[in-house]
Amino acid sequence: MAAHLKKRVYEEFTKVVQQQQEEIATKKLRLTKPSKSAALHIDLCKATSPADALQYLLQFARKPVEAESVEGVVRILLEHYYKENDPSVRLKIASLLGLLSKTAGFSPDCIMDDAINILQNEKSHQVLAQLLDTLLAIGTKLPDNQAIQMRLVDVACKHLTDTSHGVRNKCLQLLGNLGSLEKSVTKDAEGLAVRDVQKIIGDYFSDQDPRVRTAAIKAMLQLHERGLKLYQTIYTQACKLLSDDYEQVRSAAVQLIWVVSQLYPESIVPIPSSNEEIRLVDDAFGKICHMVSDSSWVVRVQASKLLGSMEQVSSHFLEQTLDKKLMSDLRRKRTAHERAKELYTSGEFSSGRKWGDDAPKEEVDTGAVNLIESGACGAFVHGLEDEMYEVRIAAVEALCMLAQSSPSFAEKCLDFLVDMFNDEIEEVRLQSIHTMRKISNNITLREDQLDTVLAVLEDSSRDIREALHELLCCTNVSTKEGIHLALVELLKNLTKYPTDRDSIWKCLKFLGSRHPTLVLPLVPELLSTHPFFDTAEPDMDDPAYIAVLVLIFNAAKTCPTMPALFSDHTFRHYAYLRDSLSHLVPALRLPGRKLVSSALSPNIMPHEDPSHQFLQQSLERVYSLQHLDPQGTQELLEFTIRDLQRLGELQSELAGVADFSATYLRCQLLLIKALQEKLWNVAAPLYLKQSDLASAAAKQIMEETYKMEFMYSGVENKQVVIIHHMRLQAKALQLIVTARTARGVDPLFGMCEKFLQEVDFFQRCFIADLPHLQDSFVDKLLDLMPRLMTSKPAEVVKILHTMLRQSTFLHLPLPEQIHKASATIIEPAGESDNPLRFTSGLVVALDVDATLEHVQDPQSTVKVQVSYPDGQAQMIHPKPADFRNPGPGRHRLITQVYLSHTAWTEPCQVEVRLLLAYNSSSRIPKSPWIEGGEMSSQVETSIEGTIPFSKSVKVYIMPKPARR
């Protein structure tokens, strides 16, 4: 049996060797790269037909070229270009030139002359356009070289008169990207004529081809983006383009108008056909508003989006956007919103509607009614009822931004936002709820509005309900009836959807603490107390009752008179809830009880904080005491780890840092302990079993380093180096342990080679950080690298061993912000005694609901693991759509996990937990050339390992045998 096991061990090792050979092979491949240009030359010479040549070029384009060989390749390509008659091949060469000139570390000024040269003799329009594109790539690569830029602009101007729209497009693009910014600089640049780029581009606003017009506007926008101040005269030109026949022109023109309006908001422009003048930003606002009813939805989206960022607009213009000036039969009519408001203020709310209630009032002067040129009139009313939901979303976003900057507008747009809660597309509803939340500090909800808002609580979509709860958390309610209404609706929501419990409690917590005075008069009713009679004590486990208590206790925090209204059992319930739901129930100053002072106030800066100082000091103590005798070091480490852990528990804001440092120290401790082992002093073959401790330590250190690297957000490169260094040490330890325990030399060869590769990899990745690692393990290792490469495994192991023992303890710099990733599974709760029954062989869907804290990129890293009692474990990848992002650093996973198994005789528990998948190679920077290639995508999706980061939850299931 033992022999058999051993054999298996060897088998696994042989596998490792095979992998290694592969890696060596790839290494060899790299050596062949410089000869690429020669290969290309031979290929191109061999090509007999243009199709062949094209094939070779395409093949060539698939692989990257290194910076030093670019120039050679370019020369060969150019040489071939001159000889080539087929335009498609020339086109490909031109595009390759552009691609090559983008290579990092290559300065393309040497090929510019050639590029301009071939441009002059080129006849094909397509190739011309491609060449101009290449020039653009060159020009953007050399942003500082004024002379070259001038020359390129000159070339572009020359080709602007080309008959092909493609060439003109590219010329304009070139002008937009390279057109000089300051005129003064241009004079010394080789005496080239000073060109007014803006004027040249502006002339092409009236080109006959819409594509060129679009390109001209885009070029102008590009100029703006590069920091050139556009002339105000462009405004009138751009306004003309708003009535262009083509949507892409109009869409770009809207952007241009927006840009100009931001540049010259206060300029005065005349209103055509009248003597009045208005501010430019107002005029532009009116024009963009008009585009909200354009015939193309692309333009409508664009216009709606831009409206949101025009904050300097005068308020009466802004308010017009919500007013459509209703009329009926030429008589002025009030909107439903106005009527609702009036009803509310007159006090007869919710009277039934009467016939003719909306009958129009006063006559409208026919001359004064302006049906179309009324500027901003009703723009948002139109945008919000657009057919395309893209437009509606854009309009809601714009409303949000404008309302955030103008409280009076926020008040006005409230009715419209509330109406959007009834949109047919969920996304729009959700967006408008979020918008409302963002502007909620500017507004107070009227009762009738609150009513509409609360009606949405019955929505069957969980996202909508939760968004609404968050909205209610931060809304201001004006009356006590409003609070009562909200509470009633929330309780109704609770009975209908019991899963919303936590969210509702949280919502009530904030609702209570925001409106203590409004809650006060409601208390007797809510607690159903009676002045004379004792009422029955409510059930303490009823979520609805807890909800009411959460509201009241939070209100009581700032309202000292409230506890007087409580009955005895309320106090008892308070004590219970304060313990069980401490995050929802605040500490109250109750008569006859002393207030337990809460923890330190959170507004102390972390550096002034004594606990932070303590952390710093204890860490410094460890780092300074590295040369003490091993026994003392070990003890100190143990104490510090204990201190840090306790500190993390006490101070939640320091938990991340404390845990992080403690983990690092624990690794160090393990390493020291492993090296202290007695086995090192004994001849290898005798102490097989004892080596367990050392190899276990190595394994554990590896695990811990992975945790450090991937489980904490905010880890910077400095820390990653140290972590990798620690991992390298662990690997060395592992190698040594294996060397001592394993028999035979063959497996060792492979391991050594692999280890040396790791060292090489480390050096390549962190070459910049090596100076910081003075005197460390890796520093010494790299010094001895040439010797290690040539020596035998046994020797390597020996060297490693001594080095590990001599190596010093690296100081781990603490990052600014560090948080440990954590996850809590809310659902399933694991309390149920009723097994989930399903027929074996079929699947059952299990709803999983979890909150994730401080997880970066959860879509690709978070997995769900299900372990069955037979040891079988499944890893499930949740869909990206299952993750929601309710706040910074927080994520929510709501997904379904499918369980299946063969029939069991008894119900049994399966464990569900969340894993964090990682892949250490994802940190390696990639070259731009390969980007989007097939290889890289493979690397990214692969998972190297996983770290469990949530408590596992047990789910009781029972697969029944299928009935025949």
**Side-chain half-sphere of 94: how many Cα atoms within 13 Å?**
27
> From the CB of 163, what's the least distance to another protein, in Å?
8
| 482-485-489 Cα angle (round to 5) | 140
Helix (H, G, I), strand (E, B) or coil at 818: coil
Cα-based distances in Å from 310 to 257, 400, 828: 11, 12, 47
> From the CB of 373, what's the least distance to another protein, in Å?
6
Cα-based distances in Å from 226 to 202, 219, 229: 17, 11, 9
Nearest CB to another protein, comparing residues 206 and 921: 206
Helix (H) or strand (E) holding 948: strand 945-948
Residue 520 is classified by DSSP as G
Nearest CB to another protein, comparing residues 171 and 562: 171
Residue 365 neighbours by CB distance under 10 Å = 9
> From the CB of 383, what's the least distance to another protein, in Å?
11
Helix, strand, coil shares of the chain, percent, nearest 5, are 60, 10, 30
Nearest CB to another protein, comparing residues 208 and 603: 208
Residue 808 neighbours by CB distance under 10 Å = 13
> From the CB of 424, what's the least distance to another protein, in Å?
5
Distance CA 302, CA 250 (A): 10
Q: Are 152 and 118 in contact (CB under 8 A)?
A: no
> From the CB of 464, what's the least distance to another protein, in Å?
8
> From the CB of 381, what's the least distance to another protein, in Å?
5
> From the CB of 301, what's the least distance to another protein, in Å?
13
Nearest CB to another protein, comparing residues 460 and 603: 460
Distance CA 669, CA 661 (A): 12
Q: Are 282 and 320 in contact (CB under 8 A)?
A: no
Residue 382 neighbours by CB distance under 10 Å = 18
Nearest CB to another protein, comparing residues 250 and 901: 250
Q: Token pair 């029972």 is at which residue?
A: 958
| 888-894-896 Cα angle (round to 5) | 155
Nearest CB to another protein, comparing residues 457 and 732: 457
Q: Which residues of 612-644 are buried (b: 16+ CB within 10 A; e: fewer)?
A: bebbeebbeebeeeeeeeeeebbebbeebbebb
Helices (H), 439-479: 447-455, 462-473
> From the CB of 355, what's the least distance to another protein, in Å?
4
In this structure, the strands spanning 327-328 and 331-332 are: antiparallel
> From the CB of 374, what's the least distance to another protein, in Å?
9
Distance CA 560, CA 146 (A): 73
> From the CB of 812, what's the least distance to another protein, in Å?
53
> From the CB of 340, what's the least distance to another protein, in Å?
8
> From the CB of 328, what's the least distance to another protein, in Å?
5
Nearest CB to another protein, comparing residues 325 and 480: 325
Distance CA 725, CA 782 (A): 12
456: tokens are: 């949405």
Nearest CB to another protein, comparing residues 425 and 939: 425
Amino acid at 775: D
Nearest CB to another protein, comparing residues 425 and 903: 425
Q: Which residues bind another protein (CB under 8 A)?
A: 161, 163, 206, 208, 245, 293, 295, 324-330, 333, 335-337, 352-355, 357, 366, 369-373, 378, 381, 384-389, 416, 419-420, 422, 424-425, 452, 455, 458-461, 496
Nearest CB to another protein, comparing residues 366 and 631: 366
- For residue 653, report the phi and psi dihedrals to the nearest 5 degrees: -75, -15
Nearest CB to another protein, comparing residues 188 and 847: 847
Cα-based distances in Å from 79 to 45, 72, 82, 123: 11, 11, 6, 18
> From the CB of 295, what's the least distance to another protein, in Å?
5
Nearest CB to another protein, comparing residues 422 and 624: 422
796: tokens are: 């390597």
> From the CB of 358, what's the least distance to another protein, in Å?
8
Residue 232 is classified by DSSP as T
Nearest CB to another protein, comparing residues 370 and 528: 370
Q: Are 660 and 818 in contact (CB under 8 A)?
A: yes
User: Cα-Cα-Cα-Cα dihedral of 558, 559, 563, 569, to 10°?
Assistant: -50
Helix (H, G, I), strand (E, B) or coil at 269: strand
> From the CB of 372, what's the least distance to another protein, in Å?
5
Distance CA 187, CA 841 (A): 82
Nearest CB to another protein, comparing residues 329 and 833: 329
> From the CB of 671, what's the least distance to another protein, in Å?
58
Q: Are 933 and 908 in contact (CB under 8 A)?
A: no
| 601-605-611 Cα angle (round to 5) | 75
314: tokens are: 């005068």
450: tokens are: 């609150």
Helix (H, G, I), strand (E, B) or coil at 360: coil
Nearest CB to another protein, comparing residues 145 and 452: 452
Nearest CB to another protein, comparing residues 344 and 838: 344
**Side-chain half-sphere of 199: how many Cα atoms within 13 Å?**
3
> From the CB of 208, what's the least distance to another protein, in Å?
5
Nearest CB to another protein, comparing residues 386 and 704: 386
